[in-house]
């Protein structure tokens, strides 16, 4: 089975959380575990639906990079399908009952805004021609100031973010290596954290068909990056060296999510007939079909209950103005 590669640079991009972030994150985890012990996940069913306004900034040098609106709309629909657990009828789930049982509707709904930050009517899409042939997918320094991300600055050949307290900004452009990256949520955003907040994605990994590459042609890279933007780590955690000693009650190792067993690194390609080399010794088998792993697009189908609880907790506590 061909492996189409996995190129997410989110872990290179983000600085470690501050002390105040860490204490808030502990509080969110505590609330999660209280809810679980009280209601055994029933709370998921009664969750309110949150709308998240999203804007797509299409930054193009060559004509092919100027993605058609139809491709953007397909990506938008696919993002909503993924977050609302509407892949659940996919025949692949018949082979993966454990994953099917865990798959959960996040009740997060992405909407095109009616107005831009100045109050003018908008369809939530901007197009900008740039003289930059491409943008760097990551920097040697690992520091991502606005200065080092010209795609997020109108002055430098990209497009300024729309008010990041009100919109999820997605920049679509040509990166030096195709893939994407996201900014994790933080409590007290200041300076560049405000002006750079959002997701950057290569036009070859964006949307369905058309300009996309094999294996990355069903819009799942954006779902993965928005998962990061809402605070999820890769299933193997934010570094390449997860702690594999699973706690008896709950595994907060690796990705710090309880219902995803620890794993060593990315699972890629197809999970059919796959024997995991990424299993941690003494731990349960890693799960398949998860958006926060490295599978080819057609095999990325679900978020787990605990991932949903985490994303919603972070949204409510760390990005409250987006949903107000």
Residue whose entry in the numeric block shows the structure tokens 């320094």: 141
Q: Decide: is 8 part of the binding site for Zn ion (CB under 5 A).
A: yes
The residue whose two tokens read 């570094």 is 239
What is the spatial distance between Cα 36 and Cα 72, in angstroms, rounded to a whole number?
A: 37
Tokens of 127: 């197009």
Residue number with CB closer to Zn ion (6 or 56): 6
Q: Is 193 in the site for Zn ion (CB under 5 A)?
A: no
Q: Does 268 bind Zn ion (CB under 5 A)?
A: no
10 touches Zn ion (CB under 5 A): yes
DSSP tally for the chain: helices H, then strands E: 8, 8
List the catalytic residue out of 225, 243, 256, 298: 225
Residue nearest to Zn ion (CB): 8
- Shortest distance (Å) from residue 220 CB to Zn ion: 11
- 288 SS3 class: coil
What is the H or E stretch that residue 235 is in? none
* Nearer CB in complex with Zn ion: 51/240: 240
Cβ atoms of 168 and 220 within 8 Å: the answer is no
Under DSSP, is residue 51 helix (H, G, I), strand (E, B) or coil? Answer: strand
- Rounded-to-integer distance, Cα 53 and Cα 288, Å: 30
Q: Are 151 and 145 in contact (CB under 8 A)?
A: no
Closest to Zn ion by CB, 173 vs 200, is: 200
Among 9, 7, 6, smallest CA distance to 182 is for 9
Q: Does 235 bind Zn ion (CB under 5 A)?
A: no
| Residue whose CB is less far from Zn ion, 36 or 310 | 310
Phi, psi for residue 79 in degrees, rounded to 5: -60, -45
Q: How far is the CB of 49 from Zn ion (least distance, A)?
A: 26
Cα(276)–Cα(295) distance, integer angstroms: 12
Segment interacting with Zn ion, rule: CB under 5 A, options 2-10, 39-47, 61-69, 72-80: 2-10
Tell me which stretch binds Zn ion (CB under 5 A): 8-16, 70-78, 123-131, 248-256: 8-16
CB count in 10 Å sphere of residue 155: 8
Q: Considering only 5-13, 163-171, 192-200, 239-247, which stretch makes contact with Zn ion by CB under 5 A? A: 5-13
Answer yes or no: 65 catalytic: no
State the nearest-atom distance from the C-beta of 223 to Zn ion, in Å.
11
Tell me: does residue 223 bind Zn ion (CB under 5 A).
Answer: no
Stretch that binds Zn ion, among 6-14, 129-137, 244-252, 304-312 (CB under 5 A): 6-14
Supply the residues annotated as catalytic.
Answer: 225
Q: Give contact residues for Zn ion (rule: CB under 5 A).
A: 8, 10
């Amino acid at each position: 089975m061909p492996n189409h590669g996995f190129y997410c640079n989110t872990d290179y991009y983000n600085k470690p959380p501050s002390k105040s972030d860490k204490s808030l994150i502990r509080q969110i985890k505590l609330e999660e575990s209280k809810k679980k012990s009280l209601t055994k996940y029933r709370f998921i069913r009664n969750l309110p639906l949150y709308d998240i306004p999203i804007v797509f900034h299409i930054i193009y040098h060559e004509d092919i990079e100027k993605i058609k609106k139809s491709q953007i709309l397909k990506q938008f629909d696919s993002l909503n399908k993924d977050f609302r657990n509407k892949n659940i009828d996919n025949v692949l789930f018949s082979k993966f009952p454990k994953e099917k049982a865990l798959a959960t509707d996040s009740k997060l709904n992405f909407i095109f805004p009616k107005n831009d930050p100045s109050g003018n009517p908008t369809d939530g899409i901007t197009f900008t021609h740039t003289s930059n042939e491409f943008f760097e997918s990551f920097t040697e320094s690992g520091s991502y100031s606005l200065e080092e991300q010209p795609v997020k600055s109108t002055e430098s050949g990209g497009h300024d973010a729309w008010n990041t307290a009100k919109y999820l900004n997605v920049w679509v452009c040509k990166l030096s290596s195709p893939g994407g990256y996201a900014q994790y949520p933080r409590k007290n955003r200041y300076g560049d954290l405000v002006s750079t907040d959002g997701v950057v994605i290569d036009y070859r990994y964006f949307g369905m068909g058309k300009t996309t590459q094999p294996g990355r042609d069903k819009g799942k890279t954006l779902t993965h990056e928005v998962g990061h933007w809402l605070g999820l780590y890769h299933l193997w955690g934010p570094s390449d060296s997860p702690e594999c000693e699973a706690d008896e009650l709950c595994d907060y190792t690796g990705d710090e999510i309880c219902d995803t067993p620890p794993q060593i690194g990315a699972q890629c390609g197809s999970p059919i007939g796959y024997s995991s080399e990424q299993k941690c010794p003494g731990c349960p088998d890693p799960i398949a079909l998860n958006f926060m792993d490295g599978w080819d697009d057609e095999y990325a189908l679900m978020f787990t209950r605990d991932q949903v609880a985490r994303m919603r907790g972070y949204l409510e506590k760390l990005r409250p103005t987006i949903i107000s």
